[in-house]
Amino acid sequence: MSTLTSNLRATIGNKARWFWLALALCALLALPHLLPGKYLLQLVNLGLVSLIVVLGLNYITGYCGQINFGQAAFWGIGAYVTALATLNGLSFWLAIPLAALATGLCSLLLGVPTLKLRAYYLAMATIAFGEIVQLVLVHWESVTGGTSGLRGVPGVSIAGYALTESLQHYYFLLAWCALALGLALRVRSSKLGRAMVALRDSEIAAEAAGVDTVKVKMLAFAMSSMYAGVAGGLYVSTINYVSPDLFSNAQAVLFFTMLVVGGTGSAVGAVIGTGVLTALPELLRFLKEWYLVLYGVGVILMIVFLPEGIASLGQRWRKRWPRQRVAVEAGDAAVATAPVLAAAAPTAAAAAATGTEALLQVHEVTQRFGGLVALDGVSLNVQRGTVHAVIGPNGSGKTTFLNVLSGAYTPQAGSVRLLGQELLGRRPSAIAMVGLSRTFQNIRLYKSLSVLENVMVGAACRHRGGLWGIFAESKKQRAEELALRAAAQEALLAVGLADMAQRPASSLAYAQQRLLEIARALATQPQLLLLDEPAAGMNPQEAAMLMQTIRGLRDQGITVIFVEHNVKLVMGVSDRVTVFDFGRKIAEGTPSEVQRSPEVIAAYLGRARAEVSHA
Ligand code: ADP
Ligand code: MG
């Protein structure tokens, strides 16, 4: 019965969506006929070109959270490349790919050195780039025509039919906008889009879940730039003229403002912001010289009172008037076929290399921070299929140890081998691919993604579907999405969060957030799972459940290293225990051996025992 009603509801929901889409389409098709005068139509056309630029900006700035002020320069490069190419006899349809290629290459030149660094390096590099492009356009007169620009740029013709009227340009540009928007929405609902948002929310946690953040940022930046390049080509080919003044840094700031006002991180926001900021100057024109003041104040007010952008109003509305969510596709869990939680099979070479060796071999690792020695020549072997606890007083180097294993820190000396492969010097995402995954002591979730999507980010590291599949939404890509979903559902089931799948990750209680981190790590199919104080903030029942879960994971063949404060928990669940004090390993053995070690009692357990016996 409930499936019937939910099906019904889904059908109605779909019908409503189609109704609104059809209405919007009719309005868009009718719009040019409702506008009084050609000037406004040309303005709308410029708005459509801007929309493509802003939709592009949304990839790197909206989805990835990296500030890019180069969008006007890329727009300009696209415009001039297309103008020069078509003036020299090349067809528009060949000039556009050329413009995309030119802007794509420029983005590589700018992105490769800056995107590895912190977010603001890209901002600075793109501002400088904008200035340089402007200077070149103005001063390289023999090619660009200097300040007077290039005239008589050939227009577009489709199969011999020339587009000469603004009305024709409108429909032509509208089709390009639909393509640009469709692509942006597809990317957002794919593993690539999830990876972009994940790295915006937590770059460290995205890397740990196997996301190659540098590659994803580079891709987003290239796509941003190519959108702008294509928009530039469309612009010159519809107005048949180009001059440098439109491609200034002021224009770049305007594009940026359009995205921020509409709502960064959503393609729909880009549409709204571009629409509002294109129309506003016209609507306020009757104010004469006062209009700029009002326009400025209006933008500031919008940013202050709607920091998430106009698009966020929709979300607020939905929160206030929640529609019963279309039942989480009941069939989803049933799709799960692959044994997701079993550790990824080690490669043949790795298996041969390990033989009877320990799964993890840590040798003489030393990590210094300035004068502080956080890890002092630590060596440790962990056997496959065991639960290994790391305990020690606060500041003894436990988290640092996990950070070294997972690639977050590179120690000054030592070696770390997993499955016979050296891990030191690799990026965290590469280490995740080898088969090591982790959770964090201070929780790092992707706040703007749902619980399910958080885990799907982890699952994606075992799937190899490419970019074209995402753009074309191929059959293979859809099957991969289903597989990722199933894998994520299963990981959620393993930690007891299956019925939370559709909730925003940020809405979970603290203990659940820790479980979600474990599910995300499990979805990468690790050989070795590192948990940093997984029971912190949990009540005794929750902690006991967690220990059951950890034991269950070991029984499925996953090796676990976990850091814990609660000595009782450690003793119950672990096969071996290592004790740290001041960055040194002071004891190691079975729980009972460690409990008897006088050194350990002196350094740590003595205190804890005393506390326990008092309690
Ligand atoms: P634990 O997890 O055992 O409580 P940590 O590994 O977090 O301890 O810290 C060990 C020591 O290393 C502490 O003194 C801490 O201040 C220091 N430390 C850890 N990370 C850094 C860092 N990134 N920079 C400087 N000092 C650090
Ligand atoms: Mg710690």
416-434 burial, b at 16+ Cβ within 10 Å, e below that, comes to bbbbbbebbebebbbbbbb
Angstrom distance (rounded) from CA 553 to CA 556: 5
Q: What is the DSSP string of 273-311?
A: HHHHHHHHHHHTGGGGGGHHHHHHHHHHHHHHH-TT-TT
151-189 burial, b at 16+ Cβ within 10 Å, e below that, comes to eebbbbeeeeeebeebebbbebbbebbeebbebbebbbe
CA-441 nearest atom, ligand 1: 2
Residue written as token pair 């180097």 = 397
Among protein residues, the one whose CA lies closest to atom 14 of ligand 1? 395
Contact assessment for residue 592 and residue 570, using Cβ atoms and an 8 Å cutoff: no
Q: Name, in order, each residue with C-beta under 8 angstroms of 352's C-beta and a sequence gap of 6 or more.
A: none
**How many angstroms does the Cα of residue 533 sit away from the middle of ligand 1?**
14
pLDDT attached to residue 321:
55
Ligand located closest to 536 CA: 2
Q: What is the DSSP string of 91-145?
A: -HHHHHHHHHHHHHHHHHHHHHHHTTS-HHHHHHHHHHHHHHHHHHHHH-HHHH-
User: Would you tell me how many other CB atoms lie within 10 Å of the CB of residue 101?
Assistant: 13
Kindly list the distances between the CA atom of residue 403 and the CA atoms of 546, 570, 573, in Å, as whole numbers in the listed order. 22, 20, 23
Q: Degrees (nearest 5) of the Cα angle 121, 245, 227?
A: 55
pLDDT attached to residue 302:
75
Ligand located closest to 396 CA: 1
Residue 185 is encoded by which pair of tokens? Answer: 């929405």
Tell me which residue of 569, 599, 171 sits closest to 390, measured CA to CA. 569
* Residue 372, helix vs strand vs coil: strand
CA-392 nearest atom, ligand 1: 3
**How many angstroms does the Cα of residue 430 sit away from the middle of ligand 2?**
23
**How many angstroms does the Cα of residue 363 sit away from the middle of ligand 1?**
20
pLDDT attached to residue 389:
94
pLDDT attached to residue 526:
94
**Ligand 1 pocket at CB < 6 A:** 369, 372, 374, 392, 394-400
Residue written as token pair 């109704």 = 19
Contact assessment for residue 46 and residue 169, using Cβ atoms and an 8 Å cutoff: no
pLDDT attached to residue 5:
56
Among protein residues, the one whose CA lies closest to atom 2 of ligand 1? 399
Instruction: Report the amino acid identity of residue 313.
Output: L
Q: Degrees (nearest 5) of the Cα angle 506, 302, 267?
A: 60
pLDDT attached to residue 329:
40
Burial (CB < 10 A; 0-12, 13-18, 19+), residue 321, is: exposed
Contact assessment for residue 486 and residue 332, using Cβ atoms and an 8 Å cutoff: yes
Angstrom distance (rounded) from CA 61 to CA 206: 17
**How many angstroms does the Cα of residue 104 sit away from the middle of ligand 2?**
43
Residues in the chain: 615
Pocket test for ligand 1, best of 372, 533, 562 (most atoms within 8 A of CB): 372
* Residue 574, helix vs strand vs coil: coil
Q: What is the DSSP string of 133-198?
A: HHHHHHH-HHHH-GGG-EE----EEETTEEE-SHHHHHHHHHHHHHHHHHHHHHHHTSHHHHHHHH
Residue 543 is encoded by which pair of tokens? Answer: 């902690």
Angstrom distance (rounded) from CA 238 to CA 235: 5
pLDDT attached to residue 12:
63
Ligand located closest to 533 CA: 2
CA-580 nearest atom, ligand 1: 3
Ligand located closest to 582 CA: 1
Angstrom distance (rounded) from CA 332 to CA 329: 5
Pocket test for ligand 1, best of 369, 373, 396, 440 (most atoms within 8 A of CB): 369
Angstrom distance (rounded) from CA 243 to CA 235: 11
**How many angstroms does the Cα of residue 395 sit away from the middle of ligand 2?**
7
CA-402 nearest atom, ligand 1: 6
CA-394 nearest atom, ligand 1: 4
Ligand located closest to 376 CA: 1
Contact assessment for residue 596 and residue 566, using Cβ atoms and an 8 Å cutoff: no
Among protein residues, the one whose CA lies closest to atom 7 of ligand 1? 399
**How many angstroms does the Cα of residue 605 sit away from the middle of ligand 2?**
17
**How many angstroms does the Cα of residue 8 sit away from the middle of ligand 1?**
55
**How many angstroms does the Cα of residue 426 sit away from the middle of ligand 2?**
22
Among protein residues, the one whose CA lies closest to atom 13 of ligand 1? 395
Among protein residues, the one whose CA lies closest to atom 25 of ligand 1? 369
**How many angstroms does the Cα of residue 522 sit away from the middle of ligand 1?**
26
Spans in the chain with pLDDT lower than 70: 1-13, 119, 315-356, 604-615
HSE, side-chain direction, 13 A CA sphere, residue 82: 34
pLDDT attached to residue 607:
58
